[in-house]
Amino acid sequence: MLLDTARAMRVLQWLKEGHVSDVALRQGLWGEVSDRVRRLVREREQQAQASEKRLQAFLAALQASPNGLVLLDARGRIEWFNQTAAAHFGFDVQRDLFQHFVNLVRDPGFATYYASGDFSRPVVMPGREHTPARPVRLSVHLHPYAEGRQLLLSRDVTQFEQADAMRRDFVANVSHEIRTPLTVLAGFVETLQSLPLDEAQRSRYLDLMAQQSQRMETLVNDLLVLSRLEGSPLPSEAEWVGVPRLLHYLENEARALSTVLSESGVPGHQFTFDITQNLDISGAHSELQSAMSNLINNSVRYTPNGGELRVQWRLDDHGRAEFTVTDTGPGIAPEHIPRLTERFYRVDRSRSRDTGGTGLGLAIVKHVAQRHGAELKIESTLGKGSRFVLVFPAARVRTRLDD
Ligand code: ADP
């Protein structure tokens, strides 16, 4: 009995001390009891470790989420948040855990949303880093879950909102650009229908109508070029475009345009085409034609009669191919230059319209350049002239040996 009690005491002491990994007794019934307890404890420990590991893996996955995640307790206090949420709201783990979310994020829109209790939709609010010059917009959505707790999800929707605004602007611009010639055309139709006109007047009206429909056609064509550029696969690197031949064709086109604009039957500009005859690049013929003709025709259109135009096609010192158009036109003020490739951006609206511009030319050039890995450089001095350069990467260049 005494021995048994002594052993029981020893096992009890062993349990109290909690060093269960040591063995209390090796033999007898108490030995067996202590061994079972030890095994049981070890199993529990292993289970706890496995659970902890799973929890850590789970939290790591939540950390990796591109969305911000915040767990709020039933009183709206922050229990946990991931790095993305920390960046979205400017939270700090040391400072902000267990604080009330609404005390830290003081946006009136969010406060109304939180107070309403209707979380069927997200609310959009400015992010922590938001400034008028660099907007950051967050979509924040609360999802209630167990026992009054809430999961708050935040998503950066800045780019999405900007793209949406650009799309709306674009549709408004296109509608405006089409409506103007359409209104003029409708006015002429009405005049022709209602007024008795002599042959000369009729013919003048019809000419003006043709001009307006031509303007709409040019606009629609440029829009189609842009949408094709956006929707088609990147230009091949294996298809060679004979640029000298293309430039020969564009030279004739430029002289013809200059003649039309001068209204004197001869070209109003002096042209120099300085072309390296055996220099080709790989890419899409129609796209390159579109880009190069836009740059040449712009210089013709914006340079007054008597001006000079120089087109160069050459290899530079780094093996890249350089297409340059230089004119002695009005030049462009520096503040406009970064915006010239935006759709429908024009420095001088009436000059652009008078010469058949759509405001899409340089947007097309930039797009084509990007698709060919080329760089578009614009240099200009007011009152002196402009230079537009397309630099194509050496990887797209070929120098033919045959001529
Ligand atoms: P647009 O159809 O109006 O010419 P672009 O996109 O081709 O549209 O050009 C945008 C604007 O850049 C033009 O409206 C014009 O103000 C300016 N621009 C383009 N090329 C020249 C140039 N060679 N000389 C002066 N201004 C130019």
The DSSP string of 189-202 is: HHHHHHS---HHHH
Q: Is 129 close to ligand 1, i.e. is its CB under 6 Å away?
A: no
Quote the CA–CA distance of 268 and 279 in Å, as a whole number: 29
CATH architecture of 68-156: 2-Layer Sandwich (3.30)
Given the CA of residue 358, which atom of ligand 1 is nearest to it? 2
Residue nearest to atom 23 of ligand 1 (CA): 299
Query: For the segment 307-363, what is each residue's pLDDT rounded down to a tens digit?
Result: 999 999 999 999 999 999 999 999 999 999 999 999 999 998 887 877 788 999 999
Residue 302 CA to ligand 1 center (angstroms) comes to 7
Q: Is 348 close to ligand 1, i.e. is its CB under 6 Å away?
A: yes
pTM of the predicted model as reported, rounded to 2 decimal places: 0.76
Rounded alpha-carbon distances, angstroms, from residue 286 to 81, 221, 393, 400: 52, 13, 19, 21
Instruction: Locate the domains of the chain by residue range.
Output: 2-63, 68-156, 160-232, 235-403
pLDDT above 80: residue 296: yes
Encoded amino acid at 282, one letter: S
Kindly give, in sequence order, each residue whose CB lies less than 8 Å from that of residue 153, ignoring residues fewer than 6 positions away: 67, 68, 69, 122, 140, 141, 142, 143
Mean pLDDT of 230-253: 95
How does 25-52 read in b/e, with b if 16+ C-beta sit within 10 Å?
beeeebeebbeeebeeeeeeeeeeeeee
* 119 C-beta neighbours (distance < 10 Å), count: 15
Kindly give, in sequence order, each residue whose CB lies less than 8 Å from that of residue 7, ignoring residues fewer than 6 positions away: 25, 28, 30
Rounded alpha-carbon distances, angstroms, from residue 135 to 67, 112, 169, 360, 371: 18, 22, 18, 27, 28
Q: Is 327 close to ligand 1, i.e. is its CB under 6 Å away?
A: yes
Residue 161 CA to ligand 1 center (angstroms) comes to 29
- Judge whether 374 and 282 are in contact, CB under 8 Å: no
- Judge whether 119 and 144 are in contact, CB under 8 Å: yes
Query: For the segment 174-206, what is each residue's pLDDT rounded down to a tens digit?
Result: 999 999 899 999 999 999 999 888 999 999 999
Q: Which top CATH class is 235-403? A: alpha beta
Residue 351 CA to ligand 1 center (angstroms) comes to 9
Quote the CA–CA distance of 328 and 184 in Å, as a whole number: 34
CATH architecture of 160-232: Orthogonal Bundle (1.10)
The DSSP string of 124-142 is: EEE-TT--SSS--EEEEEE
Per-residue pLDDT band at 31 (split at 50, 70, 90): confident
pLDDT above 60: residue 403: no
* Helix boundaries (H) for 105-242: 108-116, 158-194, 199-231
High-pLDDT (> 70) share of the chain, %: 99
Locate 149 and state its tokens. 């707790």
**Ranked by mean pLDDT, which of 29-33, 146-150, 354-358, 375-379 comes out on top?**
375-379
Kindly give, in sequence order, each residue whose CB lies less than 8 Å from that of residue 56, ignoring residues fewer than 6 positions away: none
pLDDT above 90: residue 12: no
Please provide the average confidence, as pLDDT, over all residues in the chain: 93
Residue 324 CA to ligand 1 center (angstroms) comes to 16
DSSP annotation of 350? H
pLDDT above 80: residue 120: yes
Q: Is 247 close to ligand 1, i.e. is its CB under 6 Å away?
A: no
Quote the CA–CA distance of 105 and 90 in Å, as a whole number: 9
pLDDT above 80: residue 278: yes
- Judge whether 378 and 361 are in contact, CB under 8 Å: no
Kindly give, in sequence order, each residue whose CB lies less than 8 Å from that of residue 307, ignoring residues fewer than 6 positions away: 268, 269, 270, 327, 328, 329, 385
Residue 289 CA to ligand 1 center (angstroms) comes to 17
Residue 322 CA to ligand 1 center (angstroms) comes to 20
Task: Please state the φ and ψ torsions of residue 215, each to the nearest 5 degrees.
Answer: -65, -40
Q: Is 347 close to ligand 1, i.e. is its CB under 6 Å away?
A: yes
Q: Is 289 close to ligand 1, i.e. is its CB under 6 Å away?
A: no
- Judge whether 99 and 78 are in contact, CB under 8 Å: yes
Quote the CA–CA distance of 140 and 125 in Å, as a whole number: 7
Given the CA of residue 356, which atom of ligand 1 is nearest to it? 2
Residue 285 CA to ligand 1 center (angstroms) comes to 23
